[in-house]
Amino acid sequence: MVTSPATSANALVIQNTPNGGLGRWEAWLREGGLGLNVVAAYDGAPVPASLTDHQALVVLGGGYLPDEDDRAPWLAAARALVREAVDRGVPVFGICLGGQMLAQVAGGAVAGSHGRPEFGSTALRLRTPATEDPLFQGLPAAPTAIENHVDAITALPPGAHWLVESENCPYQAFRLDDAPAWGVQFHPETTADRIRHWNPARVEPHRAAMADEPAAVEVWHTVALRFAAQVTARAAA
């Protein structure tokens, strides 16, 4: 577990793959006042049994389904933490696999190899509920974000606020009803350069993402700081 200096609010971060870290969100969440305890679950680091001493939970991406425990045995413990966070009202942000896990734990559905895969910078559309969401309100109507998925959420949890969609993947972002818990299918933490690490042969997606990068940085920096503000405000209260 890698721990940042102590602050008034600490987030537990579950990392599911070697290359699937917090990326630029590490600096942005710290800028927002969060301490970060990163658990390298993919490398055998034990996932804590509870969120004791943590005021937020972030679950990152990975090439697994949320309940694919035979390939990634730590996922069961991660799901338990998501359940605890939702039940206790602890802020959650789930990215890609993490977003799918939040959806599944809260009563939604996820399917493997579902729909059209998305790779590279993708045009998103904010839906009407986003205008009143604490993280997404006031953002550009059609931001871009990096994608890298073949699995997808097929049904949102009951009562969830459907915030963002794309042409090929309806459920790009959501928030649970009456809970500070957000899930996204895209990768707001990932830079355009990461595309070349995922697949060096795909030059065009990399070029497109580099062109979209300045605007994307502004948007997802804002979202990261707003999530941190949700956490610190609740910790102070």
Q: What are phi and psi of 19, to 5 degrees?
A: -95, 10
Please pick, among 54, 149, 161, 187, the residue that the annotation labels catalytic. 187
Active-site residue identified among 26, 118, 147, 189: 189
Catalytic member of 54, 96, 161, 169: 96
Taken in order 119, 123, 129, 135, the sign of the CA dihedral is positive
Q: Angle 75-88/97-105 helices, nearest 10 degrees?
A: 60
Residues 6+ apart with CB under 8 A from 92: 56, 57, 58, 59, 82, 85, 86, 102, 179, 180, 181, 182, 183
Active-site residue, 221 included: no
Q: How many CA atoms lie within 13 A of 207 on its CB side?
A: 4
Is 96 among the residues known to form the active site?
Answer: yes
- Count how many residues are written for the chain: 237
The answer to whether 189 is a known catalytic residue is yes
Long-range pairs of 132-139 with CB within 8 A, sequence gap ≥ 24: 133/161, 133/163, 133/175, 134/180, 134/226, 134/230, 135/175, 135/182, 135/223, 135/226, 135/227, 135/230, 136/163, 136/164, 136/173, 136/223, 139/219, 139/222, 139/223
Would you name the residues annotated as active-site residues? 96, 187, 189
